[in-house]
Structure 1
Amino acid sequence: MSSEADLDLDTHLDEVIEQPTWSRWVIIGGTLLAVLLIGGVAGMFVTRAVDDPASTATPARDSVEVGFAQDMSTHHLQAVTMSGIARDRTTDPEIKQLAFDIERTQLEQVGRMKGWLMLWDQPEQAIGAPMKWMTEPMSGHDGMSMAPQSVSPSGGALMPGMATDTELTKLRSLSGRAFDVYFLQLMLRHHQGGTSMAQYASQHSNLPALKALVNSILASQGAEMDQMKLMLTGRGAQPLP
């Protein structure tokens, strides 16, 4: 079902590719909004549909499930923002396609998580500092130890892999190959941080719907991380240290 929907969406985009620029992005923006709404409906349906008692109990405000849904939604939305910048600035078709794929996939996943939060009667964003649901150190990507909370140079609390305001400003200032390389470097690090968060949540939750979402995140981001590493190598660059 998912592959057929992806094919229909790609066909639709091909049909509008010759439209004027403003018209094309209005259509694409509407398509991405529809993906977000569909994800939200799916999130509510999956949560209601599973009969396992562990999936029907409402998670507490300070639970792993609520914290993960809140923080991963915020984490994903930064990836969507960076992908939107890439679509607007790059002239590389490979970068444009990657950015669109990330937008589409992560908006659908955000929709699912916001659907859960609505059902659980919880706010869409955590109150206070992020990552309070992580009470133990987590193993980062490639087995490296990661603290539950990272801090930006300006002192603001960030989640693993997220870009700082300074890094986003730099990204917006670049163009050409320099932009493409820096986008890939930031997005690769972003995916690595998100993967570690997802793995931690899966290890500390018994909610079947959350575990299913984590599997989806690991599959999509794992493939994209492999792709970005190859793209960086092809452009004579390396991941961020």
Structure 2
Amino acid sequence: MTQDVTSSDAAPASEEAPAPSRRRFGYAAVALLLAGIVLGAAIGLVVPRFRTPGTDSVEAGFLRDMSTHHAQAVEMAMIAHADSDTPAIVTLAADIATTQQAQIGYMQGWLRDWDLDPTGDKPAMAWMPDAAGSVVNGLMPGMATPEQLASLRKATGKELDVQFLTLMRAHHLGGIHMAQEAEDLSSNKDVDWIATSMVTAQQGEIQLIDDLLKQAQAS
């Protein structure tokens, strides 16, 4: 005798069959989610390091060289501030010394934040392509020679004013050239900001220097 199997008797088996497949899908989704969380955390830790300029980067080279370049400008400005008898030149010298010393602080601070040596071991201007001709006797663009600095320290009166303004004008032109190159080559927002600030400030000061130089030479 044949046993009658109704559709209602077979239904429970067909309804429960997909359950193991659903569980496997659920486990896989959780595993993928956890893997994504772990990978995301790892990227979050690693990416900032990739974004930090390295010791051979344009940014590090520019900050090191410009710190040295600025240091000489501060030195010359302090000489003029202490010894010039012309109020407008004393004021200009104070502005240059204050501004550029503050910028040195920014630049050296960023190098420390990046765990980089403040001076490095690369030749001057190595960060700038085709810059070999820009360094003369070890001096970066616009920098005064030791002999010129010695003469400035001894000068007085009109001679001091003319020497200071002439040297600082050349110094600013060299600094602007370096800062413009850094603007073009750098991908770091802080370095771009300070380079742009330097170009704007020093271009404005050159106009004032030209006016003061004419007055000094005519006196």
Task: Sort the TM-score into its range (normalised by shorter chain).
Answer: 0.7 to 0.9
Equivalent in the alignment of 2:125: 131
- The 3-state SS of whatever aligns with 1:235 is helix
Q: 1:204 to 1:192 in 2, by over 3 A?
A: same
Q: Which segment is superposed worse, 121-130 or 104-113? A: 121-130
Matched, 1:176 2:157: yes
- Structural mapping, 1:32-71, within 5 Å: 57-71=51-65
Query: Corresponding residue for 1:191?
Result: 172
In the alignment, the residues of structure 1 paired with residue 213 and residue 49 of structure 2 have an alpha-carbon distance, to the nearest angstrom, of 41
Match of 2:17 in 1: none
Structure 2 Cα separation of the partners of residues 149 and 224 of structure 1: 22
Alignment-derived partner of residue 113 in structure 1: 107
Alpha-carbon distance in 2 for matches of 1:208, 1:159: 24
Question: What SS does the aligned partner of 1:151 have?
Answer: coil
Aligned residue number for residue 84 of structure 1: 78
* Residues 171 and 183, structure 1, Cα contact 8 Å, conserved in 2: yes
Q: In terms of Rg, which structure is larger? A: 2
Q: State the TM-score, normalized to the length of structure 1.
A: 0.68
Q: C-alpha separation between the residues in 2 aligned to 1:163 and 1:108?
A: 21
Q: What is aligned with 2:5?
A: none
Report the residue type matching 2:61 in the other structure: G
Provide the rounded CA distance (Å) in 1 between the counterparts of 2:173 and 2:54: 28
Match of 1:224 in 2: 205
Higher helix share: 2
Which runs of 5 or more residues in structure 1 are unaligned?
Answer: 1-52, 138-146
Cα distance in 2 for partners of 1:218, 1:78 equals 17
Q: What's 1:213 paired with?
A: 194
Is residue 87 of structure 2 the alignment partner of residue 102 of structure 1? Answer: no
Using the TM superposition, give the Cα deviation of residue 56 of structure 1 relative to its aligned residue in structure 2, in angstroms. 7.4
Determine the structure 1 residue equivalent to 2:135.
150
Please report the RMSD computed on the Cα atoms of aligned residues, expressed in angstroms.
Answer: 1.8
Shift of 1:54: 8.8
Name the count of aligned residue pairs: 172
Unaligned runs of 5+ in 2: 1-46
Alpha-carbon separation, structure 2, partners of 1:223 and 1:180: 19
Q: Provide the C-alpha distance between the structure 1 equivalents of 2:217 and 2:210, rounded to a whole number of angstroms.
A: 11
How far the C-alpha of 1:235 sits from its partner, in A, is: 2.0
* Residues 178/135 of structure 1: CA separation in 2 closer, same or farther (3 Å cut): same
Match of 1:203 among 164, 167, 184: 184
Q: Is the 8 A contact 1:202 1:214 kept in 2?
A: yes
In the alignment, which of 104, 112, 122 is matched to residue 116 of structure 2?
122
Residue by residue, what CA displacement relative to the aligned partner does 1:16-68 show, whole Å, maximum 9, x if unpaired? xxxxxxxxxxxxxxxxxxxxxxxxxxxxxxxxxxxxx7997111111100000
- Structure 1 distance, partners of 2:112, 2:162, is 38
Q: Measure how far apart 1:236 and its partner are.
A: 2.5
Distance in structure 2 (CA, Å) of the matches to 1:87 and 1:129: 32
TM-score (norm 2): 0.74
